[in-house]
Structure 1
Amino acid sequence: MQKTIINTILAAALGVACASANATVKVGFMLPYSGTYAKLGEAIENGFKLYVAEQGGKLAGQDIEYFKVDDESDPSKATENANRLIKRDQVDILVGTVHSGVALALAKAAKESDTTLIIPNAGADAITGPLCSKEVFRTSFTNWQPGYAMGQVAHEKGYKTAITITWNYAAGKEATDGFKEGFEKLGGKVVKRLMLPFPKVEFQSLLTEIAAEKPDAVFTFFAGGGAVKFVKDYADAGLGKTIPLLGSGFLTDGTLEAQGAAAQGLLTTLHYADGLDNPKDKAFRADYTKTYPDIAPDVYAVQGYDAAQLLATGLNAVKGDASKKDAMRGAMQGATIDSPRGTFKLSKAGNPIQDIYLREVQGLKNQVIGVAAKALADPARGCKL
């Protein structure tokens, strides 16, 4: 009897020790904190931390300890930076990043080290395609999704021919591939695919080519400063009056103030929009604005917020013990996320199955005017899971 009591006390003590050892979950942010994408990285981190704050500063009863590495949006430094979090800081969870080239290396490092990775932005199709793995989840989009949805919109509007134009890099190719697939599947025809080297913004010769071809519509993928200049140049060339310009949502996200009148009326497709009439988005926007009064809530903040939601689902399933990786990931894989964008689930490849909204530029808003594609799943071509 005495031996049994002693064993029981020892077991209880061991349980307390284990619980204590797992009382903190280490989260490593590998995001851009300098350069062109710094504001995006800030928004993702803000969104993530907002969700944690809403849960009382803990997830599944565990304190969250944060580690940060500036990925510098430099793929050549990605493996080294990832290992600073994985090997040096021994994080339980990786969260990153914005740049697809960096994210591809990050996904490889996560798989090799058996570290759970949540991607809150990078849209490279390959991450949830040929490089898919049980360690990797995404709370954003694939480049294919908005493009494919806009292809369907173009058909619905009666357009028969289109030209695509983008930078000659992976994101642009994948977005325009998606548009071509969605458009041509329904009988449309992409008559030309125009590209220029990244990040050049000398569009005039290509705009002249578009004017000569006279397609029914133009689909484009540009972002940031390139998006600002392209939209202005397109309008200045007079093309907007005769050939509708359609785009993936990043054409007008974060760029409307600089684009001014040239952007008014533009149609884009994305998994988030202004004016979504759901309680979750209203609460999110109110909380975000209260917490970060000088920063408007945007798609990047939503993606960070949902990364924390997804992690919480996994941790709740294992009572906060992040070392139970298989059970945690299984719960994440099966999660239903009540997102500001609308409820979504994950595909087997770990990518959101989500509504893609049709948005129209109205003033300084990308106002939702409909759903371009309902519960759209990326085809995850090449995924062996």
Structure 2
Amino acid sequence: MTSFRTLTLGTAMAAAALLPMAASADAKAYKVGLIASLSGPTASLGQQIERGARLYEQLHKTDLGDDTIELVVRDDTGPAPDVAKRLAQELVVRDHVDFLAGIIFTPNANAIAPIATQAKVPFVIMNAAASATTKASPYIVRVSQTIPQFTQPLAQWASKQVDIKTVYTLVSDYAPGIEAEEAFTAGFKGDGKSVVQSVRVPVQSPDFVPFLQKVKDAKPDALYVFLPGGTQSTALMKAYQSLGLKEAGIRLIGSGEVTVEDELPNMGDAALGVVTGFHYSTAHDSKANADFLKAWQAAYGADSTPTFMAVGGYDGMAAIHHAIKAMKGKGDGKAAVDAMSQWTAESPRGSVSIDPETRDIVQNIYIRRVEKVNGALRNVEFETFAAVKDPGKAK
């Protein structure tokens, strides 16, 4: 079986590229191959993306007239580029998907990019956030976020705080983490401002205690953190609390993954006062977000909480719907990418669009503080950087 796939992949993908995405008259069942991490330590992240995508389909299944969309979901198991690449190949060659989508981790997205290019299949990234990823294929459109996009505004905010002069950075040791470290360091500028030290921790299952003990010993004014999110965020918060960094006067700031909504109840009051920069909070005050939260809880239970991953899956399907409607049954992969490059929407996170030059998301970035609202922890927005493009593309 493996030998057969190896021998026939090139010709099968070339043939797939020649097929029109839809017949001009007949209704079509479009297939979206959604790849996410649905097992292992990051399973909660992949589940959020899948649920967000399915929720959009449930709410908008009649929007395409007689056309339909089938989600074909695959588990890449975590940061595993070889697995992600194999799954993308199978989805294109065997399942004949019209779109590839999903992806938590940047290395997985980069491994899939050549498949999308060769097969001329649009690839909608719903999370993977390293700035350079959209450059890996002209068929990539990203609806999620980039690391510099939310890190630089946070660094600029921190630069204005009189009580934050020195910062220690702690990031996951892979491309997005390194990019976050660089973006924060570049943005944290001003008289007397400095990043005193940086440390990188394992991507999977890190023990934060020895790293945070070194932070405590260094006595910075603040600790900046970037993590993939999920249960790691709670582990980080518990270590921050148990080692007494807050009592030592070391403020915790970071990317939105540090106080991701579905983990806040597990963090408890240790998370109070943590400031993050990000593009989505369940506390965002808008009708679109209120409607989204209501529909989410109706579908998945009153105790279920959507995160930015869910919004990535939800908006990714909105962009795919836009492309299908714009093409009106005619067009190929490039036409779909061109259509999505003109997509604008009122998302649960606020107004969004795609920058046609970079095929990357343009969106508001919010500075948020963890506060108690009606007895529950929430990321409450208190400052907005409007319509932010990815600053990493300027490099």
TM-score range, shorter chain: 0.7 to 0.9
1:24-55 alpha-carbon deviations (Å, 9 max, x no partner): 21111112222223232222222222222222
**Residue number among 377, 384, 388 corresponding to 1:365 in the alignment:** 377
- Residues 308 and 200 of structure 1, relative CA distance in 2, 3 Å threshold: closer
Whether contact under 8 Å (1:58, 1:64) holds in the other structure is no
1:159-218 alpha-carbon deviations (Å, 9 max, x no partner): 222110123222221222221122127873212112233435344443343334322211
- Residues 239 and 153 of structure 1, relative CA distance in 2, 3 Å threshold: same
Moved more, 159-168 or 281-290: 159-168
Aligned: 1:141 with 2:145: yes
TM-score (norm 2): 0.85
* Matched letter for residue 375 of structure 1: A
* Matched letter for residue 290 of structure 2: K
Q: Which residue is equivalent to 1:10?
A: none
- Residues 76 and 233 of structure 1, relative CA distance in 2, 3 Å threshold: same
Q: Which residue is equivalent to 2:111?
A: 105
- Residues 212 and 93 of structure 1, relative CA distance in 2, 3 Å threshold: same
**Residue number among 46, 49, 52 corresponding to 2:54 in the alignment:** 49
Q: Which residue is equivalent to 2:312?
A: 303
Q: Which residue is equivalent to 1:379?
A: 391
Q: Which residue is equivalent to 2:287?
A: 279
Aligned: 1:28 with 2:33: yes
**Residue number among 239, 251, 257 corresponding to 1:244 in the alignment:** 251
Identity of aligned residues (%): 32
**1:290 offset after TM fit, Å?**
1.2
- Residues 61 and 343 of structure 1, relative CA distance in 2, 3 Å threshold: farther
* Matched letter for residue 80 of structure 1: R
Whether contact under 8 Å (2:50, 2:313) holds in the other structure is yes
* Matched letter for residue 315 of structure 2: D
For the residue of structure 1 that corresponds to 2:189, the secondary structure is helix
* Matched letter for residue 67 of structure 1: V
1:226-257 alpha-carbon deviations (Å, 9 max, x no partner): 32222222222222131211011111113222
* Matched letter for residue 284 of structure 1: F
- Residues 206 and 77 of structure 1, relative CA distance in 2, 3 Å threshold: closer
For the residue of structure 1 that corresponds to 2:347, the secondary structure is coil
1:264-317 alpha-carbon deviations (Å, 9 max, x no partner): 221111110122111111111111211222532221111111011111211111
Whether contact under 8 Å (2:353, 2:361) holds in the other structure is yes
- Residues 30 and 204 of structure 1, relative CA distance in 2, 3 Å threshold: closer
Rounded to whole Å, the distance in 1 between the matches of 2:139 and 2:201 is 35
Unaligned runs of 5+ in 1: 1-16
For the residue of structure 1 that corresponds to 2:350, the secondary structure is coil
- Residues 66 and 167 of structure 1, relative CA distance in 2, 3 Å threshold: closer
Whether contact under 8 Å (1:269, 1:372) holds in the other structure is no
Rounded to whole Å, the distance in 2 between the matches of 1:90 and 1:367 is 41
Unaligned runs of 5+ in 2: 1-21
Whether contact under 8 Å (1:60, 1:320) holds in the other structure is no
For the residue of structure 2 that corresponds to 1:255, the secondary structure is helix
Rounded to whole Å, the distance in 2 between the matches of 1:305 and 1:228 is 25
Aligned residues: 364
* Matched letter for residue 351 of structure 1: D
Rounded to whole Å, the distance in 2 between the matches of 1:187 and 1:371 is 24
- Residues 260 and 68 of structure 1, relative CA distance in 2, 3 Å threshold: same
Rounded to whole Å, the distance in 1 between the matches of 2:32 and 2:278 is 28
- Residues 111 and 185 of structure 1, relative CA distance in 2, 3 Å threshold: farther
Whether contact under 8 Å (1:352, 1:377) holds in the other structure is yes
Higher CA-based Rg: 1
- Residues 23 and 211 of structure 1, relative CA distance in 2, 3 Å threshold: closer
Rounded to whole Å, the distance in 1 between the matches of 2:158 and 2:166 is 9
For the residue of structure 1 that corresponds to 2:353, the secondary structure is strand
Q: How does 1:7-26 map to 2 (within 5 A)?
A: 18-19=23-24, 23-26=28-31
Rounded to whole Å, the distance in 1 between the matches of 2:61 and 2:38 is 26
Whether contact under 8 Å (2:256, 2:276) holds in the other structure is yes
TM-score (norm 1): 0.87
Aligned: 1:351 with 2:360: yes
Whether contact under 8 Å (1:184, 1:190) holds in the other structure is no
* Matched letter for residue 319 of structure 2: L
Q: Which residue is equivalent to 2:83?
A: 77
Q: Which residue is equivalent to 1:4?
A: none
Q: Which residue is equivalent to 1:162?
A: 167
- Residues 144 and 47 of structure 1, relative CA distance in 2, 3 Å threshold: same
Whether contact under 8 Å (1:249, 1:269) holds in the other structure is yes
Q: Which residue is equivalent to 1:177?
A: 182
* Matched letter for residue 383 of structure 2: V
**Residue number among 148, 152, 163 corresponding to 2:156 in the alignment:** 152
* Matched letter for residue 202 of structure 2: P
**1:156 offset after TM fit, Å?**
2.0
Whether contact under 8 Å (2:140, 2:337) holds in the other structure is no
- Residues 296 and 113 of structure 1, relative CA distance in 2, 3 Å threshold: same
Whether contact under 8 Å (1:358, 1:372) holds in the other structure is yes
Rounded to whole Å, the distance in 1 between the matches of 2:208 and 2:60 is 48
**1:225 offset after TM fit, Å?**
3.2
Q: Which residue is equivalent to 1:227?
A: 233
Q: Which residue is equivalent to 1:11?
A: none
Whether contact under 8 Å (1:355, 1:371) holds in the other structure is no
**Residue number among 67, 72, 76 corresponding to 2:72 in the alignment:** 67
**1:126 offset after TM fit, Å?**
2.2
